[in-house]
Amino acid sequence: MLARQVPNLVTGSRLVLAIGAFAFMGEVMRVEPVVPENFEAARGPALWAFWLFLIAAITDFADGYLARRYGWVTALGRVADPVVDKVLILGSLIYLAASPQYARPDDVFGVMPVWAVVLLLGREFLVTALRGLIESKGMEFPADRFGKLKLVLQVVYICIALGILGGIPSVIHFPLLEHVRNPYFFAGVFWLMMGLTLFSGLNYCRRGIEMMKAS
């Protein structure tokens, strides 16, 4: 039935949106960060990257809801959806790590340290391998609430970095939103995101070991 492919089409559109966001994040990388007057040159591409990323992140929740709500779960969707999620999130974090343009002089540390990207990649590879092993035994290994919360925090962190550089507070006429880029609040979101990344990864390992012992 054609309707069953709707979530897969949404997933495919999310990949296109991710590629578009990466293209604009690449434009930000080309702006010389040490020249203050070049800030305006980075604002436009960052704003476009923000909107494309945000729409892609929202559609991530939409296709999962549609698949579960109407029973439109397909083998392709079970594989493609988490892969596109990882491309969107990890790709965006890698661009942040490679782009000093998002940093501010009063930041506690860089926007996305390289070691953090390595840890995030390692966690995703570990969970993916564990999920493949367990599902090869005929058992389901869905995401838990900690994994979902980790994803939400990653989306929030990336949106803050992109949105503030892109001038979102002035675009939507809500200047108070600029305060989310306070260096201590921003660092707090980062450490919360990283802590939950580590915790959720360990929790997945615990669940996986218990399931394999019980099989």
Burial annotation 167-190 (CB, 10 A radius, 16+ → b, else e): bbbeeeeeeebeebbeeeebeebb
Mean pLDDT of 168-175: 91
CA 70 to CA 4: how far, in whole Å? 8
- Binned at pLDDT 50, 70 and 90, residue 65 comes out as low
Query: Which residue would you say has higher pLDDT here, 106 or 47?
Result: 47
* pLDDT at residue 9 tops 60: yes
Mean pLDDT of 186-207: 93
Domains of the chain with bracketed CATH: 2-214 (1.20.120)
* pLDDT at residue 36 tops 60: no
- Its pTM stands at 0.90
The radius of gyration of the chain from alpha carbons, rounded to an integer in Å, stands at: 19
- Binned at pLDDT 50, 70 and 90, residue 132 comes out as confident
**C-alpha distance from residue 158 to each of 67, 151, 213 (Å):** 26, 11, 38
- Residue in the block written with tokens 């926007």: 111
- Binned at pLDDT 50, 70 and 90, residue 46 comes out as very high
- Binned at pLDDT 50, 70 and 90, residue 3 comes out as low
Cβ(187)–Cβ(109) under 8 Å?
yes
192 — alpha (psi -120 to 50), left (phi > 0) or beta?
Answer: alpha
Cβ(87)–Cβ(18) under 8 Å?
yes
Query: Which residue would you say has higher pLDDT here, 4 or 173?
Result: 173
- Binned at pLDDT 50, 70 and 90, residue 150 comes out as very high
Q: What is the 3-state secondary structure (H, E, C) of 116-152?
A: HHHHHHHHHHHHHHHHHHHHCCCCCCCCCHHHHHHHH
Q: How many CB atoms are located within 10 Å of the residue 213 CB?
A: 7
CA 124 to CA 130: how far, in whole Å? 10
- Binned at pLDDT 50, 70 and 90, residue 5 comes out as low
